[in-house]
Amino acid sequence: MSENTFESSDSARHAKPLRHVQSVTYQEPLPLELGGSLSSVTVAFETYGKLSAARDNAVLICHAISGDSHVARHDPEDDPGWWDILVGPEKPVDTNRFFVVCPNLLGGCRGTTGPGSINPASGKPYGRDFPTVTIRDMVEVQRKLLDHLGIAQLLAVVGGSIGGHQALAWNVHYPAQVRGTVALATSARLTSQALAFDVVGRNAILRDPHFHGGQYYGRPQGPDVGLALARMIGHITYLSREAMTQKFEADRLQPHDVAIEFEKTFSVGSYLGYQGTKFVERFDANSYLTLSLAMDLFDLGGTPGQLAASLSASRSRWLVLSFSSDWLFPPEQSRDIVNALIAKAAPASYCSVRSACGHDAFLLPDDFARYGEMVRAFLDNLATLPGAAAPVKDEPPGPTSIFHARRLDYDRIVELIPAGASVLDLGCGTGRLLARLKQKPHGRLVGIELDELKILAAIRRDLDVIHADLNGGLRAFADQEFDCVVLSQTLQAVQDVQGVIADMLRVGRTCIVSFPNLAYGPLRRMLSEEGRAPRSYGWLRDKWYDTRDIRFLSIADFEEFCREQEIRIDRQIALNTEVGHEILQDANLNADLAIFVISRSGAIA
């Protein structure tokens, strides 16, 4: 999809065909989702690594609209693959460990049956007689291929963009055959804006006078102008505005000297013209129409309920990744998928990866250090034996006694949570608390976190973690979905205190809130005797002007808050972390840290 993907290898490909491509042909008819059938289907594919004896290490890679089966190099002399950063020996999709299968899509033009294939009924290429195929049909062909390869269940299906649509569709149509799903830069259906661009692109092809009703094969000219225009529109949507600025502002009026008449004024135009022309050389316009329409017709539902119903059968564990500057498949669409998974209590992690690269980010190295490692960690965890606890990699303790205090805090919270309870940890950080809970019998464990690197760390701990801002981040969870919701040492950094606490009490039968106590004696004295803003004790370690804490409260303040908001206090624990024990007398003066177990008045605890 990105120019970086194909540009360098195009000429080589035209010179020598893909050396490692295999193919298999099914002679029986393939019935299609929207009616009709194909009398036979050939699938071109490439494989990497070895299928294990248990046949449990297969990873299916689904390519994007302009991709093909050549996802990675087979050896150092091989042409680059379109996802070389992700797939290969010791790469996140590690071909030393996994058996990777990448087929060309049904309807494509790189070996798998498509509109350019010979229609047995006429002896000519299908052209526009090629039926409308759907993402489901593509998945059906992939399933046949996996049968052929002796793979009953996938360790994981991985795809971005329309490749992500296929990954989603696997979970809809063959849920039992997918253990893990990695969906990147994708959506449950296209935005109206993305649809609109596709419609314009398709119509540029269809209304090209050289289209000849799709039977342009063998003629001196096909719908080259239309296909080039469609590709150019596509290219604009694959890049972010920032990325285009970066790429073209420096020499805005110096178009590169390219051998086409397309554009001689603006650099960005000469770039697009070049991309369009190269694409026409390697891609079939009918395939573009077919694949683009399949993408546009993909629709798992436009409401949260419909989407949740579509994904209801999924038994997979999920890693959903979006990219902050992707405006073709914007992050909120990935979040919709994640919300639907949350609604069915599916194990899922999500990150909106900070990126300037737009939709193409999932193919580019720029942000790969972060999201590639998330894919690696996710697959590593999937590949461990079922039931075996994944190793918890703990970060080294910090240089101050702060970490002592935090452990004391966690000790008590862990004690407060009954065995077998399901727990949602708000502001879970790297997942230390959840990792501890995981070591004893537990129910569903989910973390919410805003920091990308902490999310990566939590995924490495084999936890399910959702990238979200607490202020509004619980909407996806149902009433009373968790036995326990924890807000540990985070309340003081929350903007919308009332909203977050109310949402906790809605989602959790019981809630545990811990916070530093502003009325702890030494803090009182700082203000009353020294006339200084309290700081430097326990959690209030930063100065007034650089702390991330924005809310300051005492135990008495929180008690009053609970009274006013009709919140029941089920239990109250006060700690002095300086001396390391619990405070039983005059807690508001003697404790620096408070733990409250609360629930909604009237609810059954």
Positions in the binding site for a copy of itself (CB under 8 A)? 191-193, 195-197, 199-200, 203-204, 207, 209, 225, 229, 232-233, 236, 239, 241, 244-245, 247-249, 252, 262-263, 265-266, 268-269, 272-273, 293, 296-297, 299, 302, 327, 330, 497-498, 518-519, 523-525, 527-528, 530-534, 544-546, 550-557, 561, 588-589
For residue 573, list its beta bridge partners.
Answer: 595
Nearer to a copy of itself, 149 or 236 (CB): 236
Tally of CB atoms within 10 A around 469: 12
Residue 394: CB atoms within 10 Å: 12
Is residue 404 annotated as part of the catalytic site, yes or no? no
Regarding beta strands 445-449 and 423-426, do their DSSP bridges make them parallel or antiparallel, or are they unpaired?
A: parallel
What is the residue whose two structure tokens read 């039992």?
Answer: 176
Closer by beta carbon to a copy of itself, 7 or else 411: 7
The one-character DSSP state at 213 is G
Nearer to a copy of itself, 204 or 375 (CB): 204
Min dist CB 546 to a copy of itself, Å, is 7
Q: Which is nearer to a copy of itself, 19 or 252 (CB)?
A: 252
Minimum gap (Å) between residue 86 Cβ and a copy of itself: 27
In the complex, least distance from residue 121 CB atom to a copy of itself, rounded to whole angstroms:
25
Q: Distance (Å, rounded) from C-alpha 257 to C-alpha 246? A: 20
- Closest separation in Å from C-beta 193 to a copy of itself: 5
For 373, other C-beta atoms within 10 Å of its C-beta total 16
CA 162 centroid distance within chain? 14
Distance CA 5, CA 476 (A): 36
Q: Which of 359, 422, 483, 514 is catalytic?
A: 359
For a copy of itself, give the closer residue by CB, 61 or 225.
Answer: 225
Task: Report the nearest approach of a copy of itself to the CB of residue 293 (Å).
Answer: 8
Q: Is 469 noted as a catalytic residue in this protein?
A: no
Say whether 161 is catalytic: yes
> Considering the complex, what minimum distance in angstroms separates the CB of residue 245 from a copy of itself?
5
Would you state the structure tokens that stand for residue 555, as one six-digit string? 């135990």
| Alpha-carbon separation of residue 395 from 289, 454, 457 (angstroms) | 51, 11, 9
How far is C-alpha 413 from the geometric centre of its chain's CA atoms? Answer: 31
Neighbours of 427 (CB within 10 A): 21
Distance in Å, CB of 518 to a copy of itself, minimum: 6
Catalytic residue among 2, 69, 117, 161: 161
Q: Which long-range contacts (CB under 8 A, 24 or more apart) does 91-95 make?
A: 91/372, 91/376, 92/372, 92/373, 92/375, 92/376, 92/379, 93/59, 93/61, 93/158, 93/375, 93/379, 94/49, 94/376, 94/379, 95/48, 95/49
For the chain, the straight-line distance linking the first and the last C-alpha, in angstroms and rounded, comes to 53
**DSSP conformation letters of 429-460:** TTSHHHHHHHTSS-S-EEEEE--HHHHHHHHH
Catalytic residue among 84, 224, 326, 503: 326
The residue among 14 and 207 lying less far from a copy of itself, judged by its C-beta, is 207
Please say which residue, 244 or 569, places its beta carbon nearer to a copy of itself. Answer: 244
Angle between helices 3-15 and 267-282 (to 10 degrees): 40
Distance from C-alpha of 26 to C-alpha of 414, rounded to nearest angstrom: 56
Q: Which residues are catalytic?
A: 161, 326, 359
